[in-house]
Structure 1
Amino acid sequence: MQREVRRFQAHGCRCDAASCPRGRRILHHRYWQDRYAKGGTSGDGSDGRLASFKAEVVNSFLREHDVSSAIEFGCGDGNQLSLMTYAKYTGLDVSGAAVTRCSDRFADDPTKSFFVYDPEAYHDPLGVFRADVALSLDVIYHIVSDATFDLYMTHVCAAASRFLIVYSTDFDGSETPHVRHRAFTEWIRSHRADFRLVKSVLNPYAGTGEQESNAAFFIFERTP
């Protein structure tokens, strides 16, 4: 299946991509677009025991709270999604190649829709992209640009009608050119007082080795 995907062009930007805010946004988008276009996957966290752990936590939550719809900002290659039991699902991703892959993989599933997500162009005052629960799984620490992080957090929170589920690290620190850890709960406390943390789930496979992660679950409820 072939689809035409708009790509952001860095017209007039002559600074180094790693040091310029605009350059970091471009670097982030290109990294994931190139990775999926070359047949790459979402990574170790969306496979094996880590994927099973995430599916167990999310699916249990969906059952307990009678969640009828979900939206995920960062659907990736769809491998993690294949383990989930969403009644209705909308998946967004910055990579057009990832969206194409998911659209092909779930082509016969009428409960799932997929869209390319451009944080700078995204504008949804009508709440078209909104669901009972909004999810961000293994995404936040891959956002290296401060401006993109602010936009992403604004969008994912606005999309959550009842709950927000985040699976990420929650401390500040850089690791590689495409990994930057963030204390994102501080952002929520500062910018979204209507979200309260109701549950956290530590990772039983904490660490930095293969099939290990220092990410944990943070589940928020949106209050009136």
Structure 2
Amino acid sequence: MTNHFGSADYWDARYRAGGTSGAGSYGRLADYKAALINGVIEMNGIAHVADFGCGDGNLLSMLRPSAYTGLDVSDTVIARCVERFPEHVFLPFTRAAELRPADLCLSIDVIYHLTEPEVFAAYMAELFAHATRLVVIYASNMDQDWPAPHVRHRRFTNHVTSHLPAWRLCAHLPNPYPYDPASPDDTSFADFFVYARARTRCVLPLPMA
């Protein structure tokens, strides 16, 4: 009998063991992501950001939202973020229905960790349902096998086109640090994808490294 890999169990166990959200939440990749997200927040007058997969909060420490709600599958990391960032709101994904609408919903380094098809579909529905204006995704966008059990690459843009027709892709911003197996901690297979609701204006910062 094949053991079923559970993405939520994996991440909570990882955080309980003292692990972090991964190399992409630190160093130059985190600097790059924070700069672009802060640019989107500032240039579009974003008041409330909802982060679907806030992780250990290191990226949040670099962001400048007026109001922020972080969601995660790990109760362990939610408790840590509540203590570290008392000015913000944190919820487990099981309480996503309590999330008030957000001008901008973020999905940063999450989609390719949703190994179960049903979890991926439910996540995408919640991510877009709670956004009133913009959704910013940082993820891979390819159908490709990967040796790590907690990684499942998907061409998620096809899913958005098929299941979320009220949204349009405003921009695909290639990563200035494309994946290099010789330097996995400082490079990434993820790019930025910015979506806007129909008839919603979206202003983007210039590409930056």
Give the TM-score of the pair, scaled to structure 1: 0.83
Q: Give ranges in structure 2 of 5+ residues lacking alignment.
A: 200-209
1:166 has 2:137 as partner: yes
1:53-103 Cα deviation digits (max 9, x unpaired): 000110011111000001011000000110001110000000011101111
**Inter-partner Cα distance in structure 2 for 1:137 and 1:131:** 16
Amino acid at match of 1:41: T
Residue 117 (str. 1) matches residue 93 (str. 2): yes
Measure, in 1, the Cα distance between the counterparts of 2:99 and 2:73: 18
Q: Residue 183 in 1 paired to residue 155 in 2?
A: yes
Relative distance call for 1:164 and 1:173 in structure 2 (3 A) is same
What does residue range 1-224 of structure 1 map to in structure 2 within 5 Å? 16-17=2-3, 23-24=4-5, 27-107=6-86, 109=87, 112-118=88-94, 124=97, 128-175=99-146, 176-208=148-180, 209-223=184-198
Structure 1's unaligned 5+ residue stretches are 1-14, 18-22
Q: How many residues align?
A: 195
Give yes or no for contact 2:71–2:96 (8 Å, CA) kept in 1.
Answer: no
SS at 1:59 equivalent: helix
Partner of 2:205: none
Amino acid at match of 2:188: S
From the superposition, tell whether residues 100 and 128 of structure 1 become closer, same or farther in structure 2 (CA, over 3 Å).
closer
RMSD after superposition: 1.4
The offset of 1:16, in angstroms, is 2.7
> CA contact under 8 A between 2:24 and 2:185: conserved in structure 1?
no
Q: Which residue of 1 aligns with 2:202?
A: none
Identity between Structure 1 and Structure 2 (%): 39
2:204 aligns with: none
After TM superposition, which residue ranges in structure 1, 4 or more long, deviate above 6 angstroms? none
Structure 1 partner of 2:203: none
Task: Give the whole-Å Cα distance in 2 for the aligned partners of 1:128 and 1:47.
Answer: 27
Correspondence for 1:5: none
Amino acid at match of 2:91: F
Render the CA deviation track for 1:4-57: whole Å, top value 9, x for unaligned.
xxxxxxxxxxx533xxxxx33xx2111100111111100010000000000011
- Scaled by the length of structure 2, what TM-score is found? 0.89
Structure 2: distance between partners of 1:88 and 1:205? 30
User: What is the deviation of 1:123?
Assistant: 6.5
* Structure with higher RCO (Cα < 8 A, 6+ apart): 2
